[in-house]
Amino acid sequence: MINKVEICNVNTSQLPFLKNDEMRKLFAEVQNGAQEARETLIHGNLRLVLSVIQRFSNRGEFVDDLFQVGCIGLIKAIDNFDLSQNVRFSTYAVPMIIGEIRRYLRDNNIVRVSRSLRDIAYKALQIREKMTNDNSVEPTLAQIAEQLEVSREEVVFALDAIQEPVSIFEPIFTDGGDPILVVDQISDSKNSDESLLENITINEALKMLNEREKNIVALRFFHDKTQMEVAEEIGISQAQVSRLEKAALKHLKKYI
């Protein structure tokens, strides 16, 4: 089959896509104990797992292993999702899938870190998150160290110890030419979990538009064309382009 890619015997080219109203109906059934609805939700959200594991494709891990671990995160997200909260399931699930994969990579890291260092590092992360939420400002290392009653150097050493080592000459992208290496991207902050989640959310939102709206959004915001250029390309007036663009952006904003 053309473009057929199998991961864990799953044909990724035939994975289903669930709309938001379908998801809410299935979650309501799951809360009433419907196992079949749970299975449908799992299968219907495997695209989220595929989107996430692409971020970890350069770690040297078997993609089948990452997919299975990601599915565990997906299942946990489905089992713990609160339908009463006004949150998209993808917004809730992606961080859980990422967390599950990171735990797997951390626990299978060939560089072993002592339990005491791990404890200090994870407590430091928890304190940093709590203090950031309480004060709306990220605390300094000295403040974290004071809370833990350890030295600032111990906090720095512990946090460094749990970071996964990677060669700065490891290729991270190639399109047939010279590959882009880690060293080329060291100061780049584009590949954050937040941007990954944002891209997944935008891609899902675009699927809710009709073909003409998708085309206009793509030409205007991905190909940097003016409304006049878009009008000439698709054969309608600039006023129509403007009206359709506004409607598309309104739909996107509502979905996101």
| Domain regions of the chain by residue span | 6-107, 114-161, 208-255
Q: Which CATH number fits domain 114-161: 3.40.50.720, 3.10.20.90, 2.80.10.50, 1.10.10.10?
A: 1.10.10.10
Cα(193)–Cα(219) distance, integer angstroms: 27
Q: Which CATH topology does 208-255 take?
A: Arc Repressor Mutant, subunit A (1.10.10)
Sort 158 into a burial class: Cβ within 10 Å, 0-12 / 13-18 / 19+. Answer: buried
- This prediction has a pTM of 0.44
Q: In this structure, are strands 6-7 and 10-11 parallel, antiparallel, or unpaired?
A: antiparallel
Q: What's the pLDDT at 224?
A: 81
DSSP conformation class of 138: P
Query: Strand locations in the chain, DSSP E?
Result: 6-7, 10-11, 171-173, 180-181
The mean per-residue pLDDT over the stretch 90-99 comes to 86
């780049």: which residue's tokens? 188
Strand pairing partners for 10?
7
DSSP conformation class of 154: H
CATH 1.20.120.1810 matches 6-107: yes
Three-state DSSP class for residue 235:
coil
CA-closest candidate to residue 17, choices 236, 246, 203:
203
Cα(240)–Cα(22) distance, integer angstroms: 32
Q: With 70 as the cut, is the pLDDT of residue 6 above it?
A: no
- Of the ranges 42-46, 61-65, 106-110, which one carries the lowest mean pLDDT score? 106-110
pLDDT per residue as tens digits for the range 134-187: 888 888 888 999 999 988 888 887 887 776 655 555 565 555 556 665 555 554
The mean per-residue pLDDT over the stretch 66-79 comes to 90
Amino acid making up residue 13: S
Domain 114-161 matches domain 208-255 at the CATH topology level: yes
Mean pLDDT: which of 17-21, 64-68, 110-114, 175-179 is highest?
A: 64-68
pLDDT confidence tier of residue 200, bands split at 50, 70 and 90: low
Q: What's the pLDDT at 168?
A: 56
Q: What's the pLDDT at 181?
A: 59
Cα(8)–Cα(55) distance, integer angstroms: 18
Q: What's the pLDDT at 48?
A: 86
CA-closest candidate to residue 89, choices 100, 99, 74:
74
pLDDT confidence tier of residue 3, bands split at 50, 70 and 90: very low
Three-state DSSP class for residue 219:
helix
Question: For residue 42, what are the contacts with CB-CB under 8 A and spacing of at least 6?
Answer: 71, 74, 75, 78
């490891």: which residue's tokens? 170
Cα(228)–Cα(61) distance, integer angstroms: 48
Yes or no: say if 87 and 96 are a contact pair by the CB < 8 Å rule.
no
Q: With 50 as the cut, is the pLDDT of residue 10 above it?
A: yes
Identify the residue with better confidence: 242 or 184. Answer: 242
């998150």: which residue's tokens? 129
**What Cα–Cα distance (Å) separates residue 75 from each residue in 1, 45, 66, 94, 204?**
29, 10, 14, 11, 20
